[in-house]
Structure 1
Amino acid sequence: AALGAGFKGLSYYMFVDRDHWYGAPLAKDGTVTEGYELVSNFNTKLMEIEFEEMDATPKVAMLSNRLYDWLSRTSSKKELPYLKRLVGQTETGICQDLLRAKVDYGIRENREYETMGDYRLLFVVTTEVMAEKDQEALVELARQGVSIVLCGVMPKYDENFKSCQVLANHLRIKTTVDFHIDTVAYRQQSEFPAYVYATIRSTDDGKVKKIAKVGSKLVGVCSSRFKGNVYFFSFDIASGGDRRKLTILDDILRSEKLATGLDCSDPSVHLAFQMGQKKGMLFVVVPPSGALSDGLQFSRKEIIIQVDLKALGMSAANVKLTDLFAGEEAKPIRTTAKALKAGLPLEVDYPDGHIFLVERR
């Protein structure tokens, strides 16, 4: 999971057994376990595959605000009553939904905004409090063509709790805090229960499209005022596994033409792909049974993975997949790009992990 997320090295003391660390080569008493062979095979092949050249360039990112973490630990229930849920549940839940959708995403802090122009889509949770420089930076990114998904409450104060409505004024969108549970109607496609953080008011009907309501009150809009679209949802859009709410993320990805090129028959299985100069690397991360899934328990089962190499930047008609964790006797999988896009069956344990070196043949 760490390597698939972009890590280029691991500290070897982490290969000693501990809680929540699966397949460690060494037990706490120094006993060599069956995980040793797996790590040994990987280290042997690591020298041959030019791993340091493999790169992933995510087009999606979650933008976190450290101020919100501090406020969530210090605010009372009367001040920003929705904050702990917004930071602890919504922000984390959106990341889980991106994993379900097999979207390669980065996690950024609210700094160095000048380096974020290469992203095509940013997710940002918002409260009534946001520094003026952060509000201005989001407006500038939208002007440059970066689409932004805001979730929470429209800011109206800066970090010193002085009036600051830069973002609201540019988008012509304001909110009234109304923290409760209600039934949300989304695009006349589906209805579902959700935590509502606020209701929305807009004075720009020409540029602001209404996409979600609670009764007659507005809780979801999309503004096309800038080069990049700005989506604003004042309710918890994290699905928590609710398929009705997952349509929100699916619609946004489709509207922004962000095809992942990866899919799996089990939504809990995480897939990632990194590309080098001539080779690619496919990561298959299988969590413990029941995680992000339908709750059914498995120790082993067959899954189907779909990989669109062309969409991922690799041009090849025939390919060979070599499992870097398998021994020397393991035979590589020989297939075609067309068959890999259609679906490749794979027997996996729960939990499990595979790293396949993808080469042309």
Structure 2
Amino acid sequence: NVPLFTNNTFLFLQDWYELQRAVEFVGLDHYAYYLIPGDSYYWDYIYVNLNCNVSRFPWSPEFQCGSGMMMFGPATSQHQRMVTFFSLSAGMVGMNYYMFVERERWEGFCPVTQDGKVREEWFAHRHMFRILHEIDWKNLSRECQIGLLWYQEHYWHFLYEGGGIIQPDDYTVVASKDYGHLAQEPLWLYTKTLIDADVDFDLVDVRAELSRYPVLLYAAPAFLDEEYQRKLAEYVKNGGTLVFLSPPPHLDVEQKECRLLVEELGIGKGKEINSKQTLEIDGRSFPVYVAESYDGMDVEPVLRTREGAICACRRHVGEGSAYMIGFSALDREVLLELLGILEAPLFVRADNPFVQTSLHRNEERTVVVSINRDAEGHTVRIKIFPDLGLTPEHWVEEMFTRKKLEISTDQAVELHIPGKDVAVFEIRKKGIGRIDLDKDKLIQGYFKL
């Protein structure tokens, strides 16, 4: 009965869901030296978030810290701060910094030298850990109720039939400006748009528990094993909202006809029109590419184009609903309008496409992590959607700068985030103190977070 764990360089060739049947803890090696350039931020979100949402204990036995002699780095304290809070915000709960203490082949950035002396990076780490203690991070819950469905067979099909990969193994490829041609579409495209729109969402394996997500998005090839078609049908009947951003599956993994899901939901493929049309929502006009329309089908129209095509429709099934979206919602503003129509649960959003936010709460405090992945600094307005019951007794503070922030009546905060950096602000009643540590304990045991 001795638990085992594996040091897992999480490549999508491996079925990490099945791997956990044999191994107690699947650790996620995470070296995000190229988290910022080009498209790598999106890849890393898939990489970390997907693994964290299925792991029994989402942690990293090897988490970026030192600079090795094997083409890595060098990193900086600022980048390290960004990577740490990026990973925590994406769902990671444990980290083993590698290499925190320098050894052979690791040099430069390691916070502690081989002979036990501290470098300036050590103080940067201590600052991060102090803040995580002060905001009581380990007792905060991450707010997210939208899931983007992932299926291992979709990736394998893309890899072996399409000759592509969803994550390059070579960091030199990851650092390239654009490698969308390597991507698994349409999942990759909607991942990018969801992040650019700062939507709170998780990558969710179709084999995992789905009930925690009131809204699930399907952006994938039109095949799915019968077992999981049935699972999605039950999800809708039990009250879930299933949104097809691409045509619903009507084949199984052997590419044989399997219409269980479409028949259970009473939906089907629309009429192909493949043309550019104009979508009008709340007085705003958007040029969109419409792949199919649902005119003449037994469905409830949700959206029509100016030209008259029903480009989005709905069917109520049991206690839930299934939506068919026949147009491309890959524009940031179009996607946000669509999510509003779907009444998708939202928690926090920045008004800048380069900034991704996440909301973390318990009964005493609310914390927002804001990551600016752009090389330039940005002043952003961040709106919190759940009612916090704000009163004049609430205090808002950015934790790294110790700057008091103003929050508007509609629960929005404005702040500046430097390029390639992170801001963390906390909202709490003035009577609630920080979780603080004795200085000596912090210095000697800060890594016991």
When the two structures are superposed, what TM-score results if normalisation uses the length of structure 1? 0.74
Is the aligned partner of 1:16 residue 2:66?
yes
Query: 2:411 — aligned with what?
Result: 341
Counterparts of 1:134 and 1:118, CA distance in 2: 17
Post-superposition Cα deviations, 1:129-150, rounded to whole Å, max 9, x if no partner, equal 2111111111111111111111
AA of the residue aligned to 1:352: D
Post-superposition Cα deviations, 1:231-262, rounded to whole Å, max 9, x if no partner, equal 123454322x5xxxx32x33332234345343
Cα deviation for residue 15 of structure 1 reads 1.7
- The 1:8/1:314 distance shift into structure 2, 3 A limit, reads farther
Counterparts of 1:194 and 1:20, CA distance in 2: 43
Query: 1:51 — aligned with what?
Result: 137
Is the aligned partner of 1:231 residue 2:326?
no
Counterparts of 1:352 and 1:132, CA distance in 2: 45
Query: 2:108 — aligned with what?
Result: 30
Query: 2:199 — aligned with what?
Result: 103
Is the aligned partner of 1:183 residue 2:276?
yes
8 Å CA contact retained: 2:79, 2:421: no
When the two structures are superposed, what TM-score results if normalisation uses the length of structure 2? 0.61
Query: 2:396 — aligned with what?
Result: 321
8 Å CA contact retained: 2:147, 2:217: yes
- The 1:50/1:263 distance shift into structure 2, 3 A limit, reads closer
Counterparts of 2:183 and 2:316, CA distance in 1: 27
8 Å CA contact retained: 1:279, 1:358: yes
Counterparts of 2:297 and 2:321, CA distance in 1: 14
Counterparts of 1:210 and 1:312, CA distance in 2: 28
Counterparts of 2:403 and 2:139, CA distance in 1: 22
Query: 1:292 — aligned with what?
Result: none
Cα deviation for residue 334 of structure 1 reads 5.3
Is the aligned partner of 1:303 residue 2:380?
yes
8 Å CA contact retained: 2:244, 2:325: yes
Counterparts of 1:226 and 1:283, CA distance in 2: 38
Counterparts of 1:48 and 1:342, CA distance in 2: 23
- The 1:331/1:15 distance shift into structure 2, 3 A limit, reads same
Cα deviation for residue 333 of structure 1 reads 0.9
Cα deviation for residue 63 of structure 1 reads 0.9
Query: 1:192 — aligned with what?
Result: 287
Q: Secondary structure at the match of 1:222?
A: strand
Query: 1:355 — aligned with what?
Result: 424
1:171 is aligned, of 248, 252, 265, to 265
- The 1:24/1:119 distance shift into structure 2, 3 A limit, reads closer
Query: 1:146 — aligned with what?
Result: 240
Counterparts of 1:208 and 1:87, CA distance in 2: 34
Alignment of 1:161-310 (within 5 A): 161-175=255-269, 182-186=275-279, 190=285, 192=287, 194=289, 196=291, 199=292, 204-205=297-298, 207-209=299-301, 211=303, 220-239=312-331, 241=332, 246-247=333-334, 249-258=335-344, 260-289=346-375, 298=376, 300-308=377-385
Counterparts of 2:232 and 2:74, CA distance in 1: 37
**Unaligned stretches of 5+ residues in structure 2:** 1-40, 81-99, 112-118, 164-179, 431-449
Counterparts of 2:358 and 2:427, CA distance in 1: 12
2:149 is aligned, of 63, 76, 84, to 63
AA of the residue aligned to 2:66: V
8 Å CA contact retained: 1:183, 1:214: no
Counterparts of 1:201 and 1:353, CA distance in 2: 44
Deviates more, 1:33-42 or 1:124-133: 33-42
Counterparts of 1:58 and 1:301, CA distance in 2: 25
Is the aligned partner of 1:130 residue 2:224?
yes
Cα deviation for residue 122 of structure 1 reads 0.5
- The 1:301/1:235 distance shift into structure 2, 3 A limit, reads closer
Counterparts of 2:251 and 2:393, CA distance in 1: 57
- The 1:316/1:271 distance shift into structure 2, 3 A limit, reads farther
8 Å CA contact retained: 2:277, 2:290: no
AA of the residue aligned to 2:279: Y
8 Å CA contact retained: 2:360, 2:366: yes
Cα deviation for residue 320 of structure 1 reads 2.7
Q: Secondary structure at the match of 1:152?
A: coil
Cα deviation for residue 19 of structure 1 reads 4.9
- The 1:42/1:50 distance shift into structure 2, 3 A limit, reads same
Alignment of 1:66-81 (within 5 A): 66-75=152-161
Counterparts of 1:287 and 1:354, CA distance in 2: 12
Post-superposition Cα deviations, 1:70-89, rounded to whole Å, max 9, x if no partner, equal 11122259xxxxxx989734
1:90 is aligned, of 168, 183, 186, to 186
Post-superposition Cα deviations, 1:219-239, rounded to whole Å, max 9, x if no partner, equal 543223443221123454322
- Cα RMSD after superposing both structures: 3.9
Counterparts of 1:24 and 1:263, CA distance in 2: 23
- The 1:133/1:145 distance shift into structure 2, 3 A limit, reads same
8 Å CA contact retained: 1:152, 1:234: yes
Q: Secondary structure at the match of 1:74?
A: helix
8 Å CA contact retained: 2:277, 2:289: yes
- The 1:182/1:86 distance shift into structure 2, 3 A limit, reads farther
8 Å CA contact retained: 1:273, 1:283: yes
- The 1:216/1:48 distance shift into structure 2, 3 A limit, reads closer
**Unaligned stretches of 5+ residues in structure 1:** 78-83, 290-297
8 Å CA contact retained: 2:295, 2:310: no
Query: 2:252 — aligned with what?
Result: 158
Q: Secondary structure at the match of 2:426?
A: strand
Cα deviation for residue 360 of structure 1 reads 1.2
Deviates more, 1:7-16 or 1:154-163: 7-16
